[in-house]
């Protein structure tokens, strides 16, 4: 069924000889609600079926001429759903499934088999209509994302409140969000405190507390009092618009299974036509030409690869739609297939297993140095760093000028000049902890990351700890129930890594890794696993994400790098979405294999039965279209999103200056 619907190619372009699909700039929002009786193909099929029944009744009443006329009209109405398109493609030099069906329908009419031609038209139209209905259903989640953007937004300009459409918002505008209103684009909360409902975007049911400085994403619902949000992105460039664009692009990417279906279908269509011609000519030389011409037409229908052509693409679209409704962006069929084969999950520590909100736990000093001196030197080196540990140190230190000539030693630490003196900060080993070694070991065994500060000599050490996500242990347990092996990869020291891994229930720990080390380790983990998924923040983990069979970016609602680097992006901060996604992908891959297997089996059985006259045209049409209906129904199952397990997720309170506070709210099952 080689037709394009809103940028989605429903079967391989190669099979149909059609042009390559294009992605629409904006998804249509004025489509019908998706009721089955609104589908044009089903409406025409119903009309054709009524006419066929009337023709059968007239025949039973002895009205032969009237019966033949009405039955022929039924065949014409049914054929109207596919014949015009097939003729247009044929004039452009393209052949496909519609071509086969058109030849079969015209041939049946020419041979006077009006009833068989009418049945072909009715059943093929029903299959077409069900496919249309299935596509509409699987895309509702994506259209729902567009509906999250309000029709108008209230902004403050020149001291006045104005109501504007989202596309007229400008960067720097101050949006006013009243209780229950949605954000029209991305912004930063400037005035007021509230709770934000992100469930429709990230799939997380727990509201998130927000205060001045909190990022507010497009589509977020204000669940508290009125707030003022400064616009930081045009509506067309918002995180929500990027999500829609990514999903649109993902629907065009082909997985290996989809390419397999294309490779089979591409030579199959002309091959079927050659086979039918050979049957007609060879049979006519040996027997009654009419009989073998009929069999050749039946072979055309029997070998039509309709079900094969839609088996994988429809499943992919359904699976991607289900993932988007569950807070994940999956970039195409290849990612869906690979996710379904994953048996090893490698988790980064910072920002994935932890909340990426570290805080200073303890400051160690040597004799002759004070706590403030240690913090000042560390803050001077970290002043311009964007590393999470830097934020924790800067939150505890007074405002200070940045050090000069700061150089980063990858995977080790920093060096710089403060008041003419060379100072260093870094992990034990890069900077010798000296007399503080036993205390450093104690803090590392407690799960802290420790950096040692040197100002000529070692003057102290700072222990920073990033707490485990409240749902991390539950997510790891869910991965194990899926049969996954779980490993933790981190650049942190061995002691701190193992302490945190033990809390999460992870036994396999790889620590002291630089970015390139993580990528190399992914390669070593791959053999015999069936596939490795790397889960990280999409920035310093980019090499590992690119090396893994599937790269998964965690918490990518506002991170361009994460979305671009990874094959999959989890939009929210709830790690339980990972086992949920892997379970969905495994189910989708199983459905793909079922559909391809059934499609090939049907073709393999029907061709010889049709060629030797065991089955007539009406029977072949019925069996073939029934198989297509089964494939469509099976593919739609992939559109059903799974629910998150109860419990385990907390909410994060916005930080006030100088502190980082994690408030864990238990979620009732």
- What backbone phi and psi angles, to 5 degrees, belong to 234? -65, 155
Q: H-helix or E-strand containing 200?
A: helix 199-202
Q: How far is the C-alpha of 57 from the C-alpha of 47, rounded, in Å?
A: 15
Question: What 3-state DSSP class applies to 407?
Answer: strand
- Known catalytic residues? 348
Residue 590 and residue 339 in contact, taking contact as beta carbons nearer than 8 Å: no
- What backbone phi and psi angles, to 5 degrees, belong to 487? -130, 150
Q: How far is the C-alpha of 228 from the C-alpha of 212, rounded, in Å?
A: 9
Q: How far is the C-alpha of 426 from the C-alpha of 157, rounded, in Å?
A: 48
Residue 606 and residue 100 in contact, taking contact as beta carbons nearer than 8 Å: no
Strands of the sheet containing 194-197, edge to edge, are: 208-210, 194-197, 221-222
- In order, the DSSP letters of 586-633 are HHHHHHHHHHHHHHHHHHHHHHHHHHTTSS-HHHHHHHHHHHHHHHHH
Residues whose CB is less than 8 angstroms from the CB of residue 356 and which lie 6 or more positions away in sequence, other chains included: 350, 388, 466, 537, 555
Q: Which residue has the tokens 């029209």?
A: 184
Question: What 3-state DSSP class applies to 296?
Answer: helix
Q: Which residue has the tokens 């060096």?
A: 415
**Count, residues in the chain:** 669
Q: Which residue has the tokens 């759903």?
A: 81
């Amino acid at each position: 069924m080689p037709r394009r619907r809103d940028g989605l190619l429903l079967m391989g372009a190669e099979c149909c000889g059609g042009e390559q699909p294009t992605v629409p700039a904006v998804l249509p929002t004025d489509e019908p609600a998706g009721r089955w009786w609104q589908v044009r193909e089903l409406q025409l099929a119903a009309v054709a079926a009524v006419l066929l029944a009337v023709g059968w009744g007239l025949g039973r009443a002895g009205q032969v001429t009237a019966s033949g006329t009405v039955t022929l009209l039924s065949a014409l109405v049914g054929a109207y759903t596919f014949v015009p398109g097939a003729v247009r493609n044929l004039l452009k030099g393209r052949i496909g499934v519609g071509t086969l069906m058109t030849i079969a329908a015209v041939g049946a009419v020419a041979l006077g088999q009006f009833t068989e031609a009418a049945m072909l038209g009715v059943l093929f139209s029903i299959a077409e209509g069900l496919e249309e209905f299935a596509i509409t259903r699987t895309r509702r989640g994506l259209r729902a994302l567009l509906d999250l953007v309000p029709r108008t937004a209230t902004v403050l300009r020149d001291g006045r409140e104005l109501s504007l459409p989202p596309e007229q918002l400008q960067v720097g505008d101050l949006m006013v969000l009243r209780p229950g209103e949605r954000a029209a684009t991305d912004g930063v909360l400037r005035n007021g405190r509230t709770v934000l409902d992100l469930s429709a975007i990230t799939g997380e049911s727990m509201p998130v507390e927000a205060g001045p400085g909190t990022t507010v994403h497009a589509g977020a619902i204000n669940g508290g009092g009125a707030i003022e949000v400064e616009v930081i992105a045009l509506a067309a460039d918002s995180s929500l618009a990027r999500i829609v664009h990514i999903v649109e692009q993902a629907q065009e990417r082909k997985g290996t299974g989809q390419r397999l279906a294309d490779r089979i279908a591409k030579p199959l269509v002309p091959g079927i036509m050659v086979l039918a011609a050979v049957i007609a000519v060879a049979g006519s030389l040996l027997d009654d030409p009419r009989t073998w011409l009929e069999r050749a037409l039946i072979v055309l229908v029997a070998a039509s690869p309709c079900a094969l052509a839609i088996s994988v693409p429809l499943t992919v679209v359904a699976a991607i739609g289900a993932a988007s409704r569950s807070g994940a962006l999956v970039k195409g069929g290849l990612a869906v297939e690979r996710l379904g084969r994953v048996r090893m999950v490698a988790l980064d520590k910072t920002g994935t297993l932890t909340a990426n909100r570290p805080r200073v736990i303890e400051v160690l000093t040597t004799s002759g140095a004070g706590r403030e001196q240690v913090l000042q030197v560390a803050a001077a080196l970290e002043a311009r760093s964007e590393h999470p540990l830097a934020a924790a140190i800067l939150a505890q230190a007074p405002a200070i000028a940045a050090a000069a000539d700061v150089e980063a030693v990858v995977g080790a630490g920093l060096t710089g000049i403060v008041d003419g003196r060379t100072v260093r900060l870094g992990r034990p080993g890069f900077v010798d902890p000296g007399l503080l070694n036993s205390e450093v070991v104690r803090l590392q065994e407690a799960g802290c990351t420790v950096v040692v500060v040197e100002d000529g000599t070692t003057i102290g050490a700072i222990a920073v700890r990033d707490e485990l996500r409240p749902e991390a242990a539950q997510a790891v347990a869910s991965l194990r129930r899926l049969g996954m092996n779980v490993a933790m990869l981190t650049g942190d020291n061995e002691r701190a890594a193992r302490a945190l891994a033990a809390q999460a229930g992870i036994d396999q720990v790889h620590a002291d890794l630089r970015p390139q080390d993580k990528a190399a380790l992914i390669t070593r983990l791959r053999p015999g696993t069936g596939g490795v998924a790397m889960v990280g923040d999409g920035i310093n983990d980019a090499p590992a994400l690119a090396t893994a069979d599937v790269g998964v970016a965690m918490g990518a609602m506002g991170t361009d790098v994460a979305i671009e680097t990874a094959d999959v992006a989890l939009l929210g901060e709830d790690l339980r979405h990972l086992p949920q996604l892997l379970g969905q992908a495994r189910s989708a891959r199983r459905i793909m294999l079922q559909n391809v297997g059934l499609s090939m089996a049907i073709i393999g059985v029907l061709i010889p039965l049709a060629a030797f006259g065991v089955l007539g045209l009406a029977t072949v049409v019925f069996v073939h279209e029934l198989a297509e209906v089964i494939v469509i129904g099976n593919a739609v199952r992939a559109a059903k999103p799974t629910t998150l397990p109860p419990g385990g997720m907390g909410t994060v309170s916005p930080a006030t200056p100088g502190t980082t506070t994690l408030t864990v709210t238990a979620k009732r099952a």
